[in-house]
Structure formats: C-alpha cells, structure tokens
C-alpha cells in the first residue's frame, strides 16, 4: 500500500513517531514534510497530499496538525478526498467501514504516540464494508 504522509509544525513530532511505527510494517511511505518545528501553514501540505491521493498516486494519505481539524477541512476541499478526523479506535475502524475514507487526520496536540500509531494501523488495515447502504452514501458524497 502506498501512503502519503504530511504534517505542519504542530503535527511534526507526532508524524515522526507514527512514521517510525509504520516503517516497521510493509508500507511504501512518502513523507511530504514538514521537516521541522518551524511554523508553516497546514493548508499547503494538506493540499499536496490530498491532490496526490486524489490523482491515484497513493492509496491513502495521513495528515497531522495541532488538532487534525485544519488538515481535515483543507483536504476535504479536494474532489475525491474523504478525509476523516479521528481521535479514537472506534472511529478509526468505522470511518473505513462506513465512509471509505482515504485520508486520515490526527492532532499532534491531542494524541500520544501509542494511540495515534494504533489508530493509523487500524485505519490502514480496515477495508470498506462494500455494503449497499454505505456505498450509496459514499456515492452521494462523491456526487456533490
Ligand atoms: C497551528 O497553530 C494550528 O492552528 C494547526 O496546527 C491546526 O491545529 C489547525 O487546525
């Protein structure tokens, strides 16, 4: 699975920790930055990662900022992106089963390393349910 990952300064430290965890697994990961704690705009990284996922260059994207919310709002502006802002294990699984989310966003000022890594792992390993009602609802999102 090809994964695009990115953060702003507020998500940088969590990105590095989640990256370290994901690198122990069989993922093909490209890091879109940022590479330091120097302040930058979450919008720019979200746009790059979301476009790359929407173009089909990556199977999934993972984005982190302070809350995960700015990344989610920005990524969801890109057609074809269904970004899910997740803070718990139940939602990590449910958004894959029900929404077929293709971008995961998390907050570096909210989540610790272990929970964020577990959320990412669950989100990456859960398939869309392909049940008719969920597919119908995803289609309605895509039509809008
Ligand atoms: C940066 O201070 C912060 O606003 C940003 O990381 C993010 O949380 C926005 O939603």
pTM over 0.95, yes/no: yes
Q: Which residues contact 130 (CB under 8 A, 6 or more apart)?
A: none
Residues involved in catalysis: 65
6, 7, 9, 10: which to mutate for ligand 1, most atoms within 8 A of CB? 10
Nearest-angstrom CA–CA distance, 26 and 92 = 20
Residue with the two structure tokens 């979450």: 42
**Ligand 1 center to residue 66 CA distance, Å?**
4
Number of domains in the chain: 1
Any atom of ligand 1 within 6 Å of the Cβ of 65: yes
**So what's the pLDDT on residue 43?**
98
Q: What is the CATH number of the domain that holds 131?
A: 3.40.1400.10
Q: How would you label 7-25 residue by residue, b for 16+ Cβ within 10 Å and e otherwise?
A: bbbbbbebbebbbeebeee
pLDDT at res. 84:
98
pLDDT tens across 105-123, in order?
Answer: 999 999 999 999 999 999 9
| Residues forming beta bridges with residue 85, ordered by sequence position | 105
Domain limits for position 92: 2-143
Q: How far apart are CA 89 and CA 104, in angstroms?
A: 12
Residue 33: what pLDDT?
96
pLDDT per 10-residue tile (average), the chain, 144 residues? 98 98 96 98 98 98 98 98 98 98 98 98 97 96 94
Q: 124 alpha carbon to ligand 1 midpoint, in Å?
A: 24
Give the three-state DSSP class for 58. Answer: coil
């Amino acid at each position: 699975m090809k994964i695009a990952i990115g953060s702003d300064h507020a998500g940088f430290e969590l990105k590095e920790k989640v990256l370290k965890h994901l690198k122990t697994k069989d993922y093909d990961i490209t890091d879109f930055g940022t590479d330091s704690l120097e302040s930058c705009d979450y919008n720019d990284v979200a746009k790059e990662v979301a476009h790359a996922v929407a173009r089909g260059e990556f199977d999934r994207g993972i984005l982190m900022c302070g809350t995960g919310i700015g990344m989610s709002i920005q990524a969801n502006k890109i057609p074809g992106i269904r970004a899910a802002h997740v803070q718990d294990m139940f939602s990590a699984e449910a958004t894959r089963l029900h929404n077929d989310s293709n971008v995961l966003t998390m907050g570096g000022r909210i989540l610790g390393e272990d929970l964020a890594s577990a959320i990412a792992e669950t989100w990456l390993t859960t398939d869309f349910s392909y049940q008719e009602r969920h597919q119908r609802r995803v289609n309605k999102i895509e039509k809008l």
